Amino acid sequence: MSIFSKIINREIPADIVYEQENIIVIKDIFPKAKTHLLIIPKKEIATINDLQEDDRWLLADMFFVAKKVARDLWIEEWYKLSFNVWEKAGQEVMHIHLHLLSNI
């Protein structure tokens, strides 16, 4: 089970910013910007390369959640979204997550 699944299951603590049926948003424990959030599907998918056709709407939901959270936090005029894919690109946690970073 990934560290993010443990956070989703409330087995380890995290600063939860937003949650809905299929997605959770937490603050990154080692922020690389003034605001650094992780948008995480509750379904444990190891990497973007492991996505299945059935995950299409889940991915879309992740971006809609990013938009909502950015608006709610008043950072919608300046933010970046990114996925790291595999270790060489910096992926440490094998449970897909969308980084949302802003320096507003």
Residues with a catalytic annotation lie at 97
User: Which amino acid is located at 56 in the chain?
Assistant: R
Q: Which long-range contacts (C-beta less than 8 Å, at least 24 apart) are formed by 63-67?
A: 63/98, 65/18, 65/20, 65/23, 65/25, 65/39, 66/39, 66/98, 66/100
Q: Is 86 in the site for ligand 5GP (CB under 6 A)?
A: no
26 forms beta bridges with 16, 38
25-84 residues near ligand 5GP, rule: CB under 6 A? 26-30, 38, 84
Give the binding range for ligand 5GP (CB under 6 A) out of 39-47, 54-62, 67-75, 88-96: 88-96
**84 contact partners, CB below 8 Å, separation of at least 6:** 90, 91, 92, 99
Q: Which is nearer to ligand 5GP, 14 or 45 (CB)?
A: 14
Q: How far is the CB of 6 from ligand 5GP (least distance, A)?
A: 8
Q: Is 93 in the site for ligand 5GP (CB under 6 A)?
A: yes
Q: Which is nearer to ligand 5GP, 3 or 58 (CB)?
A: 3
Q: Which residues bind ligand 5GP (CB under 6 A)?
A: 3, 14, 26-30, 38, 84, 90-93
